Amino acid sequence: MSDSTPEITKLILKAAAKADKESPGIPSDETVEPLKWPLQATVGPGLEGAIACETKIGYVNGTNGWLIYQGYNIFDLCAHCTFEEVAYLLLYGDLPTKEQLDSFQGKLVAARSLPHTLRMMMATPIEEMNPMSGLRLGTNLMRRRLTWRDTEAGRPDPSSAIASDEDSIPMETAPMGEKRAIYEFGRRRAPRPQDASRRTTGAASLDSCIQLISGVGTITAAIARIHDNALPIEPDPNLGHAANILYMMTGERPSPEAERVMDVALILHADHGMNASTFAAMVVASTLSDIYFSIGAAIAALTGPLHGGANEQVVRTLKEIGGPNKVDAWFKRTMKKGEKIPGFGHRVYKAYDPRARILEPLARHLVSHSPESSSPESRLLYRTARKLEKSVVSTLGKEKSVLPNVDFYSGIVYSSMGIPEHMFTPLFAASRVAGWTARVHEYLKKNRIFRPRAWYVGEFGREVKPITSRRTKKRKK
Ligand SMILES: CC(C)(COP(=O)(O)OP(=O)(O)OC[C@H]1O[C@@H](n2cnc3c(N)ncnc32)[C@H](O)[C@@H]1OP(=O)(O)O)[C@@H](O)C(=O)NCCC(=O)NCCS
């Protein structure tokens, strides 16, 4: 953690004191008994309330607004640790000693450089793709490069060569007297690269987890560069994880303040219970597929606007509102239409989200104190957000416990740092990959394939009629 940012530590500790005053009583030395399976739970749609497994990684108490990683309060971790320490904590269960941290950092730094993966990525039009789609592709290419698992299982069967129309026979195809064109793939198979590690072939080895934590950051930064019409930048081994991501995104070494804010943002987003993307990763891993595919599934789940995509939507909404004096009219219109307001509400939190408690003062600090980020646009965004928060909290907050969530202020923090909106969700992934990998790694120690049920409400005994006698039937919704 940078010692040169005491102001930021102070803001976090102040937010912690406020949270503690409003919802005191985080258990200090209790241990929780393991569950006795099978158990009874009240389950709502969307698996609300269902308990899928036991974990030591993280605890979210939505009624009180508590967030704990491996027994540590999120406020303390943000105030006193770096992302690397927190990633180590999530994976190994304890905060590292100096030696353990040095060794872990060494492994993360070694895993930052992905020249082959980036080269493969750049053979596709990444600049035309949604950045999350590029990130998912990059993770898959990392898997291919680092584990080389596709080749044996995926060797194409010549009998399944794709037949095509005569018109599309490529000019170089030698005439073989075939009636139709035949494309053949995989004749010349590239040898397995020497650096492809056999050790990463375990379903979720710690090596793979570390490679993914570093690699998702590198790929995120490369996507930011490519979308900016620039070439990816080599990582700087002398920078910490947060600073290096910012450097690889922008080409400039960040100020201690920007580095610290990014570090805090990465810590805050690193884990959050059985959220949709974590669950998606675990479902894929539970089939004993592999962790690269699991993380790909998590990235896909995080893309949705009801999950990680919300922070982009928040900034777009604040821009669309146009200023604090236009909030009331916009809010009334939106409520009338019955639309949800991005950045508010949470399945779990019915109290103030502790992550929003930390991000709000950081956003305020950036827009009012940081010379790099205090642009008039950022200040307007922040003031509009504060006004919107007031309107929502005084109405929906009271009626339905709809309060700001993590995404409400993270977008303002990122845009104040000059990060474009389309990179917000990939940055979320670059942090959450620590929680995804840790939870998959933990779950696989006592793996059971996920297999919930759906309740059938359909019909029985229907007759298959010839197509000519079928009629369109109006279905009840
Ligand atoms: C996060 C979210 C998906 C949680 O969904 P959920 O647990 O299924 O909650 P529900 O949609 O059932 O909401 C409960 C009630 O609060 C209301 N509500 C929830 N979030 C709201 C929002 N952002 N704006 C307005 N009303 C909201 C719902 O309309 C519902 O009201 P009702 O009981 O009168 O129908 C939902 O709050 C949402 O869509 N928020 C906006 C997107 C967002 O910020 N996502 C990031 C989450 S970290």
Residue pLDDT, tens place only, 172-193 = 555 566 666 666 665 555 666 6
Distance 344 CA to ligand 1 centre (A): 7
Residue in 344, 350, 424 to alter for ligand 1 test, most ligand atoms within 8 A of Cβ: 344
Choice among 227, 263, 407, 441 that is catalytic: 407
Residue 203 has pLDDT above 90, yes or no: no
pLDDT value at residue 307 = 87
pLDDT value at residue 169 = 45
Residue 108 has pLDDT above 50, yes or no: yes
pLDDT value at residue 425 = 95
pLDDT value at residue 162 = 46
Q: Is the pTM of this model over 0.75?
A: yes
Residue 166 has pLDDT above 50, yes or no: no
Residue 88 has pLDDT above 90, yes or no: yes
Instruction: Assess whether 407 carries a catalytic annotation.
Output: yes
Give the per-residue SS3 of the chain.
CCCCCHHHHHHHHHHHHHHHHHCCCCCCCCCCCCCCCCCCCCCCHHHCCCCCCCCCCEEEECCCCEEEECCEEHHHHHHHCCHHHHHHHHHHCCCCCHHHHHHHHHHHHHCCCCHHHHHHHCCCCHHHCCHHHHHHHHHHHHHHHHHCCHHHHCCCCHHHCEEECHHHCCCCCCCCCCCCEEECCCCCCCCCCCCCCHHHHCCCCHHHHHHHHHHHHHHHHHHHHHHCCCCCCCCCCCCCHHHHHHHHHHCCCCCHHHHHHHHHHHHHCCCCCCCHHHHHHHHHHHCCCCHHHHHHHHHHHHCCCCCCCHHHHHHHHHHHHCCHHHHHHHHHHHHHHCCCCCCECCCCCCCCCHHHHHHHHHHHHHHHHCCCCCCHHHHHHHHHHHHHHHHHHHHHHHHHCCCECHHHHHHHHHHHCCCCHHHHHHHHHHHHHHHHHHHHHHHHCCCCCCCCCCCCCCCCCCCCCCHHHCCCCCCCC
pLDDT value at residue 375 = 80
Residue 389 has pLDDT above 90, yes or no: yes
Band of residue 121 on the pLDDT scale cut at 50, 70, 90: very high
Distance 277 CA to ligand 1 centre (A): 18
Whether the Cβ atoms of residue 416 and residue 378 lie closer than 8 Å to each other:
yes
Average pLDDT over residues 329-336: 95
Distance 283 CA to ligand 1 centre (A): 24
Average pLDDT over residues 159-171: 46
pLDDT value at residue 53 = 95
Atom of ligand 1 nearest to the CA of 308: 46
Q: Which of 340-349, 363-372, 434-443 has the lowest mean pLDDT?
A: 363-372
CA distances 144 to 116, 137, 141, 156, 233, Å, are 10, 11, 5, 16, 22
Band of residue 204 on the pLDDT scale cut at 50, 70, 90: low
Residue nearest to atom 47 of ligand 1 (CA): 307
Residue 159 has pLDDT above 80, yes or no: no
Residue 316 has pLDDT above 70, yes or no: yes
Residue 259 has pLDDT above 70, yes or no: yes
Candidates 374, 311, 306; CA nearest to 340 is: 306
Whole-number mean pLDDT of the chain?
88
pLDDT value at residue 289 = 87
Residue nearest to atom 15 of ligand 1 (CA): 400
Question: Per residue in 36-84, pLDDT tens?
Answer: 999 999 999 999 999 999 999 999 999 999 999 999 999 999 999 999 9
Instruction: Assess whether 269 carries a catalytic annotation.
Output: no
Residue nearest to atom 12 of ligand 1 (CA): 347
CA distance 85 to 96: 6
Distance 340 CA to ligand 1 centre (A): 6
Choice among 227, 272, 346, 441 that is catalytic: 346
pLDDT value at residue 165 = 43
Atom of ligand 1 nearest to the CA of 335: 25
pLDDT value at residue 378 = 87
Please name the fold of domain 6-27+49-95+253-444. Answer: Cytochrome p450-Terp; domain 2 (1.10.230)
